[in-house]
Amino acid sequence: MPELPADIPKDAVVRMFVTDKTPAGQDAVWTTPDGAIHEFFQFNDRGRGPKIYTTYRVDEHGLIVFEESKGVDYMKTPVTEHFEFANGTATWKNQSEDAKQTGASGKIYVDLNGGPEAGAIQARALIASGAAGKLSVLPSGEATIRKLQSVQVEAAGQKKTVTLYEISGLDFDPSYMWLDEDRQFFANVFGWSGTIRKGFESAIPQLDDSQRQVETAYASELAKRMTHKPAGDIVIRNVALFDSLSGKLVAGQRVTIHGDRIASVAAEDGSATPAGAEAIDGAGKTLLPGLWDMHAHLFREDAFLDIAAGVTTIRDMGNPIDDLAKLRAQIQDGTQIGPRIVMAGFIDGPGPFEGPIKVLAATPEEARARVDRYADLGYVQIKIYSSVKPELVPIIAEEAHKRGLRVSGHVPSGMIAEQFVRDGADEIQHMNFVFLNFMPDVKETRTPARFIEPGKRGGALDLSSAPVNDFVAFLKAHHTVIDPTMAIWEATYVDRPGHPGHMEGGMFDRLPVAEQRGSLAAGEALDASDPAVSKQYLAAYANFERMLKKLYDNGVQVVAGTDNSNGYTLDRELEIYNEAGIPAAEVLRIATIKAATVMHMERDFGSVTAGKFADMVLVNGDPTARISDVRHVDTVIKGGVIYKAAELDRAFGIRPE
């Protein structure tokens, strides 16, 4: 964990940033005699993480009238943000915006670079705004706050009564914040991390449990409204069917679903829909097998958005065991809308760059024990992470294969990809590790060097050279699967502040304001302010695309994963494959039957075939001709249950097409 800088006052209120129960950073807040509120926020996430100083001034209503932030963002890119309100006019400038808005009185400014205190200031202003708890937002939109529940927490002899508030209107779903009796920030918890008043770290599980009850109830209410279970069969009439087994589009088909399985697939004969069956008109639409995202880290919000985008199965590549089990159980019992989950268990080695999921192994005995626990819990794959000792890789692989599990992962620091495969890996995550195979001098890949060095040097790699050809042939001979996560690399190397990110570009205008501004901020991008470095990054990404096509052309199995969830991110992943030169129909096969086959689940999934589970997506248009038509989802069916994409989108603040 990083130390607090020496310039932080001794009387500052300190909150701890915690990742899976491990302290990883701090948030310090203090007020100076002139009334200004100051904040310093930092955390370390495997060498990444922000380090930002912010100053706030508020008016008599608690609204921010001045804010200035300076430091580095999560990817260590320098950021500066300035906001000021005077005489009814708001002006703000940051790495992606230079804006002015008149008539801005009484509005909340939602920043890009401030720390947790900014959210607390906003919450207090909303509470003070009146019974409705509602205020307009800069640059656009409206935020609403709702008081939910209070609990008492105790730690180190201190007791506090803290209250959970829900803020809606800014993002896909509500955000939550715990305030103390004086309405000061106490904690926010989300996923496997959170920020909490120093000394109360042990209270995170209690607050997390209370908050999850609220989130679960919200998800359950949405599921009740948006899950449509037909009383009888479902008949999809006169539809163009994508046959993923052959890669062909078959016109004029009728698909009948009985229960959770496909009962029949036949030519449309024009006969009446049987009594009691629900008919869906497929004219002008294409019916695809449900899509697979083969690299996800699933959270509740993502689960909804996956279904809205036609993603009916995901492979979770690392989540806390208990959290994933709960989410999976809720999806299975219908109280949470979400995809099927194929589980991969995360293993890392202890050390300063250990991953956020603290399943660690430092010895052969620990390595075997971690594998066996995952196998006993029903996991089907092990994901090795960057800090695992190279000498443990063959031990993990041997134990995993003995238990019938696949092995994949980051190539651990101190290895190259060829050695990783020789030692038993069945799959490699992320295209950068393919390129690092040809950069053996890059010894330390636990840090952001694993992004930066392939970015600066990857464009110069000759893909027609003998070493590259030999390595590709080696991958083919070993039946190695590559999970390239191309959309992440596009965001890392190509996105630039001030322009919509490529992931969101296809639907930028439809997104909630916080998502739009986050996209414009290019928060995943490396610092490309130096034109020479920018040119290197662009060249590297172009070579990543060429390598993708080379792998495909040479028969190396590629799977489509996002490492980002959110459904529509997979749409961009598939578009990239097509832009790289892979035919659209083959891209769709990669995201359906080939994914199911890699996971040995093709008997029940991956194609619209009689007898298989009824997982499918009805889209407007023909994605075999225009891969981007996969974005135009009309209806999603998972296990014979119907979901309307437009309903799910509206619930998460996504505007209609």
Residues 214-244 pLDDT 10s = 999 999 999 999 999 999 999 999 999 999 9
Question: CA-CA distance, 227 to 136, in Å (whole number)?
Answer: 32
pLDDT of residue 156: 77
Q: Which residues are CB-neighbours of 236 under 8 A, at least 6 positions away?
A: 253, 254, 255, 256, 257, 280, 282, 287, 618
Are the C-beta atoms of 169 and 110 separated by less than 8 Å? no
**Helical H runs in 108-240?**
116-128, 204-226
pLDDT of residue 567: 85
- pLDDT over threshold 80, residue 131: no
Question: CA-CA distance, 621 to 607, in Å (whole number)?
Answer: 19
- pLDDT over threshold 90, residue 440: yes
DSSP state of 411: P
pLDDT in tens, 644-655: 999 999 999 999
- pLDDT over threshold 90, residue 16: yes
Q: How many CA atoms lie within 13 A of 541 on its CB side?
A: 21
Question: CA-CA distance, 431 to 639, in Å (whole number)?
Answer: 33
High-pLDDT (> 90) share of the chain, %:
88
Mean pLDDT of 598-613: 98
pLDDT of residue 552: 98
Are the C-beta atoms of 79 and 72 separated by less than 8 Å? yes
Mean pLDDT of 435-439: 98
Give me the residue label for tokens 């904040």: 39
pLDDT in tens, 29-78: 999 999 999 999 999 888 889 999 999 999 999 999 999 999 999 889 99
- Please, which pLDDT band fits residue 566 given cuts at 50, 70 and 90? confident
Out of 368-372, 399-403, 475-479, 500-504, pick the least confident: 500-504
pLDDT of residue 48: 86
Question: CA-CA distance, 550 to 316, in Å (whole number)?
Answer: 27
Mean pLDDT of 437-456: 96
- pLDDT over threshold 80, residue 364: yes
Out of 300-309, 468-477, 518-527, pick the least confident: 518-527
- Please, which pLDDT band fits residue 89 given cuts at 50, 70 and 90? very high
- pLDDT over threshold 80, residue 20: no
- pLDDT over threshold 90, residue 657: no
- At residue 626, φ and ψ (nearest 5 deg) are -135, 100
Query: Which two three-digit tokens encode residue 320?
Result: 């806390």
Element containing residue 574 per DSSP (H, E): helix 568-579
Name the more confident of 367 and 189.
Answer: 367
pLDDT of residue 216: 93
> How many Cβ atoms sit within 10 Å of the Cβ of residue 592?
29
- pLDDT over threshold 90, residue 643: yes
pLDDT of residue 461: 98
| DSSP conformation letters of 4-39 | PPTTS-TT-EEEEEEETTEEEEEEEEEE-TTS-EEE
- Please, which pLDDT band fits residue 627 given cuts at 50, 70 and 90? very high
Mean pLDDT of 396-410: 98
pLDDT of residue 513: 85
> How many Cβ atoms sit within 10 Å of the Cβ of residue 162?
24
- pLDDT over threshold 90, residue 190: no
Mean pLDDT of 68-92: 94
Per-chain mean pLDDT for the chain: 95
- Please, which pLDDT band fits residue 157 given cuts at 50, 70 and 90? confident
pLDDT of residue 22: 85
pLDDT of residue 465: 98
- Please, which pLDDT band fits residue 21 given cuts at 50, 70 and 90? confident
